[in-house]
Amino acid sequence: MRDIKVAVIGAGPAGIYAADILTSEYGHARVDVFDRLPAPYGLVRYGVAPDHPRIKEIVKALRRVLSRDAIRFIGNVHYGTDIKLSDLRRIYDAVIFATGARADRNLDIPGVDLPGSHGAVDFVSWYDGHPDVPADWPLTAKNVAVLGAGNVALDIARMLAKPADGQLSTEIPGNVYRGLSLNQATDVHVFARRGPAQIKFTPMEFRELSHSPSVDVIVHPAGFEIDEGSQQAINASKSTRLVVDTMLRYLEKEPTGAPHRIHLHLCQAPVAILGTDRVEGLRTERTELIGDGTVRGTGEYVDWPVEAVYRAVGYLPSHLADLPFDHHAGVVPHNAGRILDMDGVPIEGTYVTGWIKRGPIGLIGHTKSDASETIVSLLADLPGLPRPELSDGSDGDAILEHLRGRGVDYTTWAEWERLDAHEIALGAQQGRDRVKVVARDDMIRAGRG
């Protein structure tokens, strides 16, 4: 068994699971996990709503993996700018890309670029304290539309409806708390293109939507339809059945008169965002189920007076430098994790896992089996993979020398641990578990003491 070095690009769950499985299955592997941010954990840190501590518990498992001697975290390194594929291939036996999805899926309707029309990625990044988005967010709209029927849409609706003080038990930084304190939204309207059995909310999150005494959840009866395909989905999936049951309870419940309301509108497809200089409304087309769980338009339109629109219609992976990309599917073409060139031939020593491999679908748990498939392919290919040109002995400095030579201000696991401790200390001062540091320079400075 030969010693191998593998680079993983992306320190979210997909990349960390790949490093975990590889080092567990092959004891002669050392793995460097790179990320463009100074901190690890990807969407667990920057894509999960801060009031979901149960989901954040996964950080503990990811931390145990990155703490292993066989795995090294190298942060604040931009693939395609600070380091290229050719650089990595000279130093590593194989490269695994696990960069996830960082862009919004396009919604091709008139008015989508009006001020007040926001992509989900930017708003989620803002309230999660991402260093690459502006520190302030405009929250002057009283009536808001959220487009989408998944957990991201649900998170956005809850963050807009829940009072800022309700977030003080979480890790939100000061700028986010101040922004939410100025939020003027009273009515948040969530629009789903299909019916109740096609909603993709997680049952527990959907049930907990009404736990805040300042929020009423109102399911509007128009569009609450169950066709044959919907009934089959309910019968086949416990999760779908729980979501529909919860929706029925909301439908039957009388509003309490709470100061904030989340409205769920079913079978309403967005067709235009209205306004001249900024968002002044949303136009939807009433849809109807056609028997198999899909819908068709009815030609009946409704204009909704809203002052802001949040588009949560799906994430989209981005094209990576020096790699092929399927722009229609939004993924890197592959065969069982082996990256394929334009002719469908595997590119030697390059692999892919996570959302950049399969698209932005599935929960975090699905990522582990996805990574396992990729590692099986890598280990099967290993006997035929050429040795890298540069070897660096036991200290493993070839990549660090390369980064220093390019002037890259990379961060290390020890620096992340100091930043982590710093954020926990900031939280302790306020009686909270953590307060997140936002600015990239501040993150690096805290990590260096």
Angle in degrees, CA 444, 445, 446, rounded to 5: 90
User: Please, which pLDDT band fits residue 121 given cuts at 50, 70 and 90?
Assistant: very high
CATH 3.50.50.60 domain range(s) in the chain? 103-314
Q: What is the pLDDT of residues 208-256, one digit of tens each?
A: 888 889 999 999 999 999 999 999 999 999 999 999 999 999 999 999 9
Q: What is the pLDDT of residues 79-90, one digit of tens each?
A: 999 999 999 999
The pLDDT, as a whole number, for residue 54 is 74
Question: Residue 42 and residue 365: Cα distance in Å, rounded?
Answer: 15
User: What is the torsional sign of CA 231, 233, 237, 239?
Assistant: negative
For residues 289-316, give the mean pLDDT. 96
Phi, psi dihedrals of residue 30, rounded to the nearest 5°: -120, 140
Question: Residue 36 and residue 319: Cα distance in Å, rounded?
Answer: 15
Q: Percentage of the chain with pLDDT > 90?
A: 90
For residues 196-216, give the mean pLDDT. 92
- Asked whether residue 135 carries a pLDDT value surpassing 60, the answer given is yes
The pLDDT, as a whole number, for residue 391 is 67
The pLDDT, as a whole number, for residue 210 is 85
The pLDDT, as a whole number, for residue 430 is 93
Averaged confidence pLDDT in the chain: 94
- Quote the tokens at residue 184: 């003027």
* Class of the domain covering 103-314: alpha beta
- Please indicate whether residue 261 or residue 328 has the higher confidence score (pLDDT): 261
Q: Please give the single-letter amino acid code of residue 355.
A: W
- Quote the tokens at residue 84: 């290229």
Give me the helix-helix angle, 366-381 and 13-25, nearest 10°.
50
The pLDDT, as a whole number, for residue 396 is 58
The CB density around residue 83, as the number of other CB atoms within 10 Å, is: 23
Which runs of E-coded beta strand occur in 319-434? 334-335, 338-340, 346-352, 411-412
The pLDDT, as a whole number, for residue 271 is 98
The CA–CA distances, whole Å, from 242 to 76, 195, 344 equal: 42, 14, 42
Lowest-confidence range among 99-103, 172-176, 388-392? 388-392
The CA–CA distances, whole Å, from 123 to 193, 246, 321, 445 equal: 22, 27, 26, 26
The pLDDT, as a whole number, for residue 211 is 86
Lowest-confidence range among 74-78, 138-142, 387-391? 387-391
For residues 119-134, give the mean pLDDT. 96
Q: What is the pLDDT of residues 5-52, one digit of tens each?
A: 999 999 999 999 999 999 999 999 999 999 999 999 999 999 989 988
Q: DSSP class of residue 319?
A: P
Q: DSSP class of residue 198?
A: G
The pLDDT, as a whole number, for residue 119 is 96
CATH 3.40.50.720 domain range(s) in the chain? 4-102+317-409
The pLDDT, as a whole number, for residue 56 is 72
DSSP string, 320-346: PTTS--BTTTTB--EETTEEE-TTSPE
The CA–CA distances, whole Å, from 106 to 109, 113, 118, 180, 189 equal: 9, 11, 12, 27, 20
Those residues with Cβ within 8 angstroms of residue 72's Cβ, 6 or more apart along the chain or in another chain:
30, 31, 32, 33, 396, 412, 413
The pLDDT, as a whole number, for residue 448 is 96
User: Please, which pLDDT band fits residue 115 given cuts at 50, 70 and 90?
Assistant: very high
> 4-102+317-409 is classed in which CATH architecture?
3-Layer(aba) Sandwich (3.40)
Q: What is the pLDDT of residues 364-423, one digit of tens each?
A: 777 899 999 999 999 999 999 999 988 655 455 899 999 999 999 999 999 999 999 999
Contact 254, 216 (CB under 8 A): no
For residues 123-130, give the mean pLDDT. 97
